[in-house]
Amino acid sequence: MKHSRIAGTGSYLPERILTNAELERTIDTTDEWIFTRTGIRERHIVAEGQYTSDMALEAAKKAIEASNIDIQSIDLIVLATTTPDRTFPSTACLLQQKLGIVNCPAFDLQAVCSGFVYALATADNFIKAGAAKCALVVGADAMSRITDWTDRSNCILWGDGAGAVILQASDEQGILSTHLHANGNYADMLMVPQGVSNQEGSKTILMEGNAVFKMAVNTLDAIVDDTLAANGLEKSDIDWLVPHQANIRILQSTARKLGMSMDRVVTTVDKHGNTSAASIPLALDVAVRDGRIKRGETILMEAFGGGFTWGSVLMKY
């Protein structure tokens, strides 16, 4: 089997919805400012005692059900997150335990908002190398736990959720190409300074929003060109853009670059906010389940985030 192909998708959003109207009551902002600048109306927030692995579990169960596979056939778990339950063990191991799967490799991958693209590329390479046949790939983040809810310059962006796919070895075409990049010289522009070995500075997100915005737009334009060129495709060959949901204005800019109307762009940012590694698999699952994305269509996924990291995946669904 030469290819890796998505067999099924799943996603999960916490029950609690935090609207812009509620934020108006706690910080100096307006629904109009948030919606005009970001396209966000509301976001979901994890409950007390609810962790990233709990969201990942719900999304994974739905992806497994949609794929119609025996859960024990999963032979790799890759989980992208910036908000693990614990310092260790990995959230992937906690998810493995909750699913009752034993003895397959399971690890977390940290590439912030590009996490799902990185995780999918990693699983694709495992499968193409013959090291796995059936991978569970998850993007899950509880960004509300690392957000300073008094900082209006970025708290309005973030939300919580999880998305998952089952990626299987296949004779049919699936993932066509993956493109991953990073440039650590920009580490300070979007970060949570305090970690584990470094116990100094803020424990919540610091972002130079406007500079990050400009970098994201230019970088995503370039990766769209690279991805099309690597596959010998024209812009018009792409059926759906499933982008990382950072800000509607970034999505609109990439759509313009592709000469694509916004009704071919899967947009969830209005209801989900920016869920970091979860945003692409959440959007993919929404559009697969509502019947927009159909088997055989060509999908471009792209993301940009802290690091900086960025990347794309081109696939036949």
The residue ranges that bind ligand UT7 (CB under 6 A) are 29, 33-34, 37-38, 113, 152-154, 156-157, 209-210, 212-213, 216, 246-247, 250, 274, 304-305
Rounded to 5 degrees, φ, ψ at 18 are -105, 115
Of 155 and 166, the one with the shorter C-beta distance to ligand UT7 is 155
Give the active site residue among 113, 154, 155, 272: 113
Which residue has the CB atom at the shortest distance from ligand UT7?
209
For residue 88, count other CB atoms closer than 10 A to its CB.
10
C-alpha to C-alpha distances, 240 to 163, 194, 263, 288, 305, nearest whole angstrom:
18, 38, 9, 11, 21
- Mark whether 125 is an active-site residue: no
Which two three-digit tokens encode residue 227?
């991805």
Nearest-angstrom CA–CA distance, 301 and 115: 12
Of 170 and 204, the one with the shorter C-beta distance to ligand UT7 is 204
Of 89 and 209, the one with the shorter C-beta distance to ligand UT7 is 209
Minimum distance, C-beta of residue 292 to ligand UT7, in the bound complex (Å): 23
Minimum distance, C-beta of residue 191 to ligand UT7, in the bound complex (Å): 11
Q: Taking the CA of residue 151 as centre, how many other CA atoms within 13 Å lie in the half-sphere pointing to its CB?
A: 17
Minimum distance, C-beta of residue 118 to ligand UT7, in the bound complex (Å): 14
Per the CB < 8 A criterion, the answer to whether 248 and 39 are in contact is yes
Minimum distance, C-beta of residue 113 to ligand UT7, in the bound complex (Å): 4
Give the active site residue among 44, 244, 247, 272: 244
Nearest-angstrom CA–CA distance, 294 and 292: 6
Identity of the amino acid at 269: V
- Mark whether 113 is an active-site residue: yes
- Mark whether 272 is an active-site residue: no
Give the active site residue among 20, 154, 247, 274: 274
Minimum distance, C-beta of residue 277 to ligand UT7, in the bound complex (Å): 10
Minimum distance, C-beta of residue 50 to ligand UT7, in the bound complex (Å): 22
Of 138 and 157, the one with the shorter C-beta distance to ligand UT7 is 157
Closest CA to 72 of 10, 140, 136, 163: 136
Which two three-digit tokens encode residue 73?
């056939």
How many distinct helices (H) and strands (E) make up the chain? Answer: 9, 13
Residues whose CB falls within 8 Å of the CB of residue 26, separated by 6 or more in sequence, listed in order? 149, 150
Of 135 and 248, the one with the shorter C-beta distance to ligand UT7 is 248
Residues whose CB falls within 8 Å of the CB of residue 199, separated by 6 or more in sequence, listed in order? none
Which two three-digit tokens encode residue 255?
């759509």
> Could you give the residue numbers annotated as active site?
113, 244, 274
